[in-house]
Amino acid sequence: MAMEREDGVDPSKRKILFGDTGSGTNDASAPYQIASILIQAEPKNMPAIRQRFSPVSSIEFHDAPGIGKLIATIETRNDHELVEFVDLFEQTPGVMSVALVYHQIDDGGDDA
């Protein structure tokens, strides 16, 4: 098991949280992926959860109906990054559960 730093982030996950996601994110030929996840957390921790992920431009938060619920929309260029983000949310203090509710892969083809 990886040791966490003072900020609570597993060192093996720091790159994706703080912007160094590698060439997969910038590869224009890679499929574009969008996912929505439902985060259930202690209501008092919601501001800290939003703050922790605020540096990540590929995550957008939306309020969800109900106390202690938050929806995050995540845009990535590969499955690995998406899984890493879900893992980071699961490791966030105060988060009780994370559920993938939507996932779409767009290869850029014209379906019309």
- Assess if residue 93 is contained within a domain: yes
Cα separation, 85 vs 44, whole angstroms = 22
Q: Does residue 20 fall inside a structural domain?
A: no
Q: Decide if 55 is inside a domain.
A: yes
Which residues does residue 73 pair with via DSSP β-bridges, in sequence order? 36, 60
- How many distinct structural domains can be found in the chain? 1
Strand blocks (E) in 1-112: 32-41, 59-63, 69-76, 95-106
Note whether 90 and 101 are within 8 A (CB).
Answer: no
Q: Which domain holds residue 44?
A: 31-103
What tens digit of pLDDT does each residue of 35-82 get? 999 999 999 999 999 999 999 999 999 988 889 999 999 999 888 899
For residue 13, the SS3 value is helix
Percent of the chain with pLDDT over 70: 70
Residue tagged 């730093």 (tokens):
5
Which pTM was predicted? 0.71
Kindly state whether residue 14 falls inside one of the protein's structural domains. Answer: no
Q: Give the CATH number for residue 76.
A: 3.30.70.920
Q: Is residue 1 in some structural domain?
A: no
